[in-house]
Amino acid sequence: MNTTSALNTADARPLQFPIPANVYAETVVSVKHYTDRLFSFRITRPQSLRFRSGEFVMIGLPNAEKPVFRAYSIASPAWDDELEFFSIKVPDGPLT
């Protein structure tokens, strides 16, 4: 089950609330499924974001009622134009 898909963001709803200065609104570029539970995803990278191997970022779904954020280790090299992350699917998980 090794599949890759590009996501269509044309139908994405605009955010209804302000984004804090230290938070970036990025776009999911692709998702690749390795097994029924393991997948990776790539997002656009803010030009100002600098990191070293082993560092992580908080990725979330901003929601006016209750924002959801999780820590994800960066799997892509520091010179890549996109950020890649690996994750497992969690039943009923808000970010999977």
> Each residue of 51-95: pLDDT tens digit?
998 899 999 887 767 778 899 999 999 999 999 999 999 998 877
Place of tokens 């393991």: 38
Structure tokens at 5: 């898909």
**All domains in the chain, ordered by first residue:** 3-88 (2.40.30.10)
Residues 28-38 have a mean pLDDT of 97
pTM of the model: 0.75
Which residue in this structure is represented by tokens 């998980």? Answer: 93
Distance between CA 92 and CA 96 in Å, rounded? 8
Place of tokens 């970010």: 95
Cross-strand pairs, 56: 73
